[in-house]
Amino acid sequence: MDGKQIRNAIYAAVTELHPKGAGFQYPELLQNLRGRLEILSVEDEQAILDEVQVLFHEGLLGRGLGLDNPDLPFLHLTLKGKEHFATR
């Protein structure tokens, strides 16, 4: 499984899970990816986790929904992430 394949699946999952600006949960994202990708090994699972982590480092995903739920398992698209995913 390559990074581009994983990244495309993440984009599809985020678009489906985040249609109107609401947040979503990390386990929900991972479960969605499990259904989209053929995961054959723990290395595949780690590659998925690595690609999700890259989205955090690129500033596309943020932790939390708001001040009352500021951390995991909740996620949201950052302003940069909304712009990025809207242009895909």
Residues 28-83 have pLDDT tens digits of 999 999 999 999 999 999 999 999 999 999 999 999 988 998 999 999 889 998 88
Judge whether residue 20 has pLDDT over 70. no
Residue 52: its H or E element: helix 42-57
CATH classification of 3-86 is 3.20.80.10, yes or no? no
**What is the model's pLDDT at position 21?**
65
Please compute the mean of the pLDDT values over residues 14-22 and round it to a whole number: 76
Do the beta carbons of residue 85 and residue 11 sit within 8 Å? yes
Rg of the chain over all Cα atoms, to the nearest angstrom: 12
Half-sphere CA count of 72, side-chain side, radius 13 A = 7
Q: What is the pTM of this model?
A: 0.85
Q: How far apart are CA 27 and CA 87, in angstroms?
A: 25
Judge whether residue 85 has pLDDT over 80. no
CB proximity list for 51: less than 8 A, separation 6 or greater: 3, 6, 7, 10
